[in-house]
Every structure is written in C-alpha cells, then in structure tokens.
Amino acid sequence: MLVRMASNQQTRPGIGELAKDTARGRIGVVMGDVGGHVQMWPVGGGIEWDAMPDNVVAPTAREELSARLAIRNGNSRDGL
C-alpha cells in the first residue's frame, strides 16, 4: 500500500512496507504515523526510530532485495 501525499510530493510506503529513511540511510518497516513523524522498525529487529515524512521513501530494488535477504538470513539462524 502506497500512501498518497500532496500533489507536489511523491508517494511513500505505507504501514507494514519496507522504506528507506534517507536522513539516516537506514531501511526499516513503516509501523505508523504519530505526531507528524513516521515510526520505523529496523529490519533485523531492535529499537524503533522516528523519521520525518519527507525523508521516508521506497527503497531501490537493490536495497529492498538486500533487506529481504537479511530478514531471511536472520530467520534461518533462528530456525524459522
């Protein structure tokens, strides 16, 4: 699900989708919008962080593949 923003802005990933926080250079999963910030959760687990909505974009195909591979590798180490 892509969230449509104002007509002069691009769409950004919706809740549950992978996204890139361009300010931090990190890939995470969009968890929600609170207080004008986008809450993101690290792909490999850890502490959520808040990102400015203008900095949250869809990852490139290469970034998404890398993130999905990291998730898969983590699952295989955990026996899932």
DSSP class of 53: G
d(CA 79, CA 63): 24
Residue 33 near residue 21 (C-beta atoms within 8 A): no
The CATH number assigned to the domain with range 2-77 reads: 2.30.30
Kindly state the helix (H) or strand (E) to which residue 63 belongs, with its residue range.
helix 61-77
Strand pairing class (2-3; 26-34):
unpaired
The whole-number pLDDT of residue 80 equals: 56
d(CA 55, CA 51): 7
The series of mean pLDDT values per 10 residues for the chain, 80 residues long, is 48 91 96 94 92 96 92 72
The whole-number pLDDT of residue 48 equals: 96
The whole-number pLDDT of residue 7 equals: 40
Question: What is the identity of the amino acid at 35?
Answer: G
